[in-house]
Chains A and B, each alone.
Chain A
Amino acid sequence: DVKVTQSSRYLVKRTGEKVFLECVQDMDHENMFWYRQDPGLGLRLIYFSYDVKMKEKGDIPEGYSVSREKKERFSLILESASTNQTSMYLCASSPGYEQYFGPGTRLTVT
């Protein structure tokens, strides 16, 4: 069974803080993705990575950065959290075209 884990289920941060969201997959997948999910908007792609140390911008990369130092781990970084980054963040990994999602991190920025 594919397992994608995310470091926190719930997170509360203050405006201006640097925030790290971690994602780990145990299936040796090359592809990893970060999405945010907001009511009425569906999932939107923030960043993705097809290999270690490789990253590509998705549809809404502004205010975010990512890091992939190891194949199994893909980190999303909010350099200076803002209230409009309050959202559900979902990580996914993929061997090809099937994507397997983690449980999500609900981030609240106050």
Chain B
Amino acid sequence: KNQVEQSPQSLIILEGKNCTLQCNYTVSPFSNLRWYKQDTGRGPVSLTIMTFSENTKSNGRYTATLDADTKQSSLHITASQLSDSASYICVVSRISNFGNEKLTFGTGTRLTIIP
């Protein structure tokens, strides 16, 4: 079964600290993996997209890693800011038997940054 599991479900850290969010998946055949940030009451916004051959990608203070062999990804946030408080969603893409892209969404990690 195609699944994406994220951990932890929620995380609270002090402003300025670093944190790492985890994503494990069983989606096959793998096409790409994305991390989205979703602020409360808003739609998700893309942070990174990684294909099979990429094992790290950065977007400012966000760095995503991908290990396609173990089917794991992580999102590392450096020097957290209050505006980082949001849900972070891991999404894995596969190509269906009909040739179109299918996305499997994780349930997200709710990150809260406290001053």
Contacts and interface: CB of A to CB of B under 8 A. Distances in A.
Interface in A78-102: 90, 92, 97-102
B89 interface: yes
Contacts of A98: 46, 49
Given A97-B32, A97-B93, A43 B105 contact: yes
A61 interface: no
B19 interface: no
Contacts, number: 41
A21 interface: no
Interface in A24-61: 40-45, 50, 56
Interface residues of B, number: 19
A104 B41 contact: yes
A4 interface: yes
B45 interface: yes
Contact of B103 (A41, A45, A56, A100): A45
Nearest to A6: B43
B42 A99 contact: no
Contacts of A101: 43-45
B107 A40 contact: yes
Interface of A: 4, 9, 40-45, 50, 56, 90, 92, 97-104, 106
27 contacts: A4-B43, A9-B41, A40-B107, A41-B107, A42-B4, A42-B105, A42-B106, A42-B107, A43-B44, A43-B89, A45-B103, A50-B100, A56-B100, A90-B43, A92-B43, A97-B49, A97-B93, A97-B101, A98-B46, A99-B46, A99-B103, A101-B44, A101-B45, A103-B42, A104-B41, A104-B42, A106-B41
